[in-house]
Amino acid sequence: MPGTSPGMTAEGYLPLHRAAVIGAGAWGTALANVCRRAGLDVVLWAREAEVVQSIAARRENDLFLPGVPVDPAVRVTGDLAEAAGTDLVLMVVPTQHLRSVATGLASHLAPNVPVVDCAKGIEIATGELPSEILAEALPGHPIAALSGPTFAAEVARGLPTAITLAAPDLDLARRLAQAIGLPTFRPYASDDLPGVEVGGAIKNVLAIACGIVEGKGLGQNARAALITRGLAEIVRLGRAKGGRTETAMGLAGLGDLVLTCSSTASRNYSLGLAIGRGESLADIQAQRRSIAEGVPTAAALAALASRLGIELPIAAAVNAILHQGAEIDATIAALLARPFRDEAET
């Protein structure tokens, strides 16, 4: 086409044949399987040498996703430069480490390669969403986000899953969805990038809250109330960041919230459950290799809400319990003592 370089699409993007998955935790490993099943040539980058060795030798991520085979055609490496020779990047790095990894990747990527955020959180130091971090660390690269109700082990095994894939350019979101989509992994395209990322961030904090309520034996009514009022907090922050209310009602909002707040398979819910039963945060984290993103996100949310002048009372309560030494019963009592308000208020 006129104005299009050889080998590029009319929109100026490279054809999508190769995918690099940066981060080999449970979710990154699962997404490597998804991309391979979708017909892409896949390389998976792992920070941990033992993960590289485990996948290369046994085709299994013993550390983060034991018992789930990694597709034999997925290559694994610990070298960012080797991983960067690709048409598409999926960043599956914990949010607090996203900036440093993306900065290390920047000099190795070809121009115009789309980068998809697959993390869920907010950076403590800046209050930025992952897409904002990536836009700064990888200038000139189209940025998208993948978020929704997903447990990594189910996705890795090919069980049916639906998820949202968002980019400011809806055509790019649709193109990426076509590239990685499968009958059992269904990405729904959106152009509401901040709305999708806000849902993914807050739901982890709300899952900790629901786990605490369960651990304290406060009943199913209380958990249902937390989920519903938590959804209002997602809407409130989403709007403040330029997102749309309807996005919070979709897969990346309500869908992810319900899944994460109702199963011990959720790292964040199970952490809250342990805290509600009297365990300390330090002891819980010392027993785990995987990261519960809601822990740092709670602190980041408190600072961001203050900066934006909005109320996120449930998120603030979780932050107080996790990071400020607040007593659980007193914090719950303070939440219950808040003034009555109209349900339609957001």
User: Rounded CA gap, 190 and 179, in Å?
Assistant: 15
- Rounded (5°) CA angle 29-88-292: 40
Contact in structure between 270 and 264 (CB atoms under 8 Å): yes
Catalytic residue among 120, 203, 216, 241: 203
Tokens linked to 57: 């030798």
Given CA atoms 290, 97, 38, 176 in this order, what sign does their dihedral have?
positive
Please name every residue paired with 244 in a beta bridge, in sequence order, or none if there are none: none
Q: Closest Cα to residue 267, out of 64, 93, 99?
A: 64
CA distance 116 to 93: 11
| 5 three-state secondary structure | coil
**In this structure, what token pair is assigned to residue 8?**
């590029």
Q: In terms of Cα–Cα distance, which of 338, 336, 298 is closest to 213?
A: 336
Is residue 203 annotated as part of the catalytic site, yes or no?
yes
Check if the beta carbon of residue 133 is closer than 8 Å to that of residue 300: no
Chain-centroid distance, C-alpha 266 = 13
Question: What burial class does residue 287 get, using C-beta atoms within 10 Å of its C-beta: 0-12 exposed, 13-18 middle, 19+ buried?
Answer: exposed
Give the catalytic positions in this structure: 203
